Amino acid sequence: MAVCEDKEQDPRIRRIASSIRVVPDFPKKGIMFQDITTLLLDPKAFKDTADLFVERYTGKGISVVAGVEARGFIFGPPIALAIGAKFIPLRKPRKLPGEVISENYVLEYGTDCLQMHVGAVQPGERALVVDDLIATGGTLCAAISLLERAGAEVVECACVIELPELKGREKLNGKPLYILMESH
Amino acid sequence: MASEGGEDHRLPRIASAIRVIPDFPKPGIMFQDITTLLLDHEAFRDTIDMFVERYRDKRITVVAGIEARGFIFGPPIALAIGCKFVPMRKPKKLPGEVISEEYSLEYGTDIMEMHVGAVQPGDRALVIDDLIATGGTLSAAIRLLERVGAEVVECACVIELPELQGSQRLGGKPLFVLVKAAAA
């Protein structure tokens, strides 16, 4: 796991990076899966992860943290609670009750769909999108679209891990991406 | 929506922040939607605080959260009390070695999984979900934790549907909830 150069200075990042487990051939052969559940078993590493995001986003006028199901539900709420923002779950189809808006996105094979509640976000709100990892960027791109369709301004996307070779960063409609570490 | 133990001044706001959606996911069910609670920062903060106040001095070493809404409430509690967070997931989501527990649904069965090695014998565990209905999901989580030698101290939910008697299906484990609601 490569720690990003400019973050080499922060001693917390090394511990976080080393707490993440790589599981080969999951969900299928050839994929090296970045498993953050082992980070969640290290209370100091998990707290440091949350703190790093909170330090970055406190005092930036962010009123919405949108987390992508399901691992974005683990990292998003602690950030939202600490910075005084709402938490909005972005979910797979048919999970959210009531009125939703939907955004389709492309997978390696086929398509998927992400949904957000109508009325969760107001026009003009400043939003953060959180997920554990960015790969191709398809999911985050769909998340950005949902928030922008509701009139929010997406300030940044935040992930623990980036897989830079998959160039997800280029699919974020020009929105900036903040990550703690890369995996090659 | 009735608050549990009306003494705590925070409960009315928490209870009124929860939205009820009729006929979701099917006719006759009054769905307790906690997403509106997450939009009220103070109410969400209070919800977490009430759990943290209850559990901070109980020597809890692991918070197990049930996918997916247990992932929203569990991690902030785990972070505040300084213990591990363990996600309890639907099949094939967790990479690496897992143990599985089958449980009953209204029609058919489902399976819950937990990572091997996440929980040690002697760990003191709290099980978290947003809501307890029939208790099937929570009882599967209790069985998984006990199979690896943990002691389940309590189950904690934001909402209980008492008519469905889920509290009686927890293998004698105590249940703590903030609000009680009608099932239909």
Q: What is the pLDDT of residues B85-100, one digit of tens each?
A: 999 999 999 999 999 9
pLDDT greater than 70 at residue B61: yes
Beta-carbon contacts of residue A147 (< 8 Å; ≥ 6 apart)? A64, A66, A116, A121, A127, A129, A154
Distance CA(A151)–CA(A159), nearest Å, equals 23
Interface contact flag, A46 B85, Cβ < 8 Å: yes
Average pLDDT, chain A: 95
Q: Do B96 and A21 touch (CB under 8 A)?
A: yes
Report the CATH number of the A60-182 domain: 3.40.50.2020
Is 60 exceeded by the pLDDT of residue A82?
yes
Q: What is the reported pLDDT for B129? A: 98
pLDDT band at A137 (very low <50, low <70, confident <90, very high): very high
Residues of B in contact with A87 (CB under 8 A): 38-39, 44, 72
Residue B169 to chain A, least CA–CA distance (Å):
25
Contact A40 B85 (CB under 8 A): yes
Burial A29-57 (b: 16+ CB within 10 A, else e): eeeebbbbbbbbbbbebbbbbbebbeebb
Could you tell me if B93 lies within 8 Å of chain A, comparing CB atoms?
Answer: yes
pTM exceeding 0.90: yes
Give the pLDDT confidence of B104-135 residue by residue, as tens digits. Answer: 987 889 999 999 999 999 999 999 999 999 99
Residue A2 clears pLDDT 70, i.e. is over it = no
- Residues A8-45 have pLDDT tens digits of 668 999 999 999 999 999 999 999 999 999 999 999 99
Are B118 and A41 inside 8 Å of each other by CB? yes
Q: Where are the domains of chain A?
A: 60-182
Average pLDDT value for residue range A124-146: 97
Q: Determine the 3-state secondary structure of A125 from DSSP.
A: coil
Instruction: Count chain A–chain B contacts defined by CB atoms under 8 A.
Output: 105
d(CA A71, CA A140): 13
| Amino acid identity for residue A85 in this structure | A
Chain A residues within 8 A of B41 when measuring between CB atoms: 80-81, 84-86
Task: From chain B, pick out residues whose CB is under 8 angstroms from the CB of A21.
Answer: 96
pLDDT in the model for residue A3: 61
Catalytic: B69? yes
Min Cα separation B166/chain A (Å)? 22
- Candidate list B13, B54, B69, B154, residue with the active-site label: B69
First to last CA, chain B: 12
Query: Is A5 annotated as catalytic?
Result: no
Residue B4: predicted pLDDT: 52
